[in-house]
Copies of this chain bind each other. A is one copy, B any other.
Amino acid sequence: MPRPRKRDYETLRRELIDAGGRLLAEEGPAALSTRRVAQATGTSTTAVYNLFGDKAGLVREMFLEGFDRLTAAFAAVPRTGDPAADLLALGDAYRANARDNPHLYELMFGRPVPEFRPDAEAGRRIQPTFDALIAACARCVEAGAFAPAEPYAIAVQLNAMAHGLASLELRGALGDVEEADAHWKRAYASLFKGLA
């Protein structure tokens, strides 16, 4: 007869992920030690290994959650009668996500945690985020805002531009907020013109 569990595993798992998210947001990736995460949830590091396999498993969940949030932010963008404006709004949502969660953004698109590297399965799991962008591009093509082209190919361009701009902005390379605003506006205008 096994020893009873002190805590519900689902709840503990949730708390560990949340604790990791808080530490990451407040202090950056260097704060993500198994000891600190475990301590923040009143348990021991063994829980990380039992519930996630290892530290990378925990960080993987945080990575996936970052994309879930981005997907949700995209889904929250209202669908108007103007597909081009909707696509711009997606870009705004992407930028806001990066600015509001710089450390999580780096975790999603960079390699700040040495132990973690996304696997192919994780890549598949984040596809919905990109799919939302592809769908928005398809609507622009259908509405005639963009010249006929494969929505996927267009989405790559938009994705690259947004990621490049967000990365530059997070590094402080785009100047103050107003200057950064202007850069985003110009870049999207150029690219939209080029895609028309």
Contacts and interface: CB of A to CB of B under 8 A. Distances in A.
Contact of A190 (B29, B182, B195): B195
Interface majority SS (helix, strand, loop, mixed), chain A: helix
Given A187-B157, A194-B192, A29 B111 contact: yes
Nearest to A109: B167
A48 B172 CA distance: 29
Chain A interface size, as a band, is 35 or more
B163 A159 contact: no
Nearest to A30: B114
Residue of A161, A162, A192 most packed against chain B (CB within 10 A): A161
Interface of A: 29-30, 106, 109-112, 114, 123, 149, 153, 156-157, 159-165, 167-168, 172-174, 182-183, 186-187, 189-195
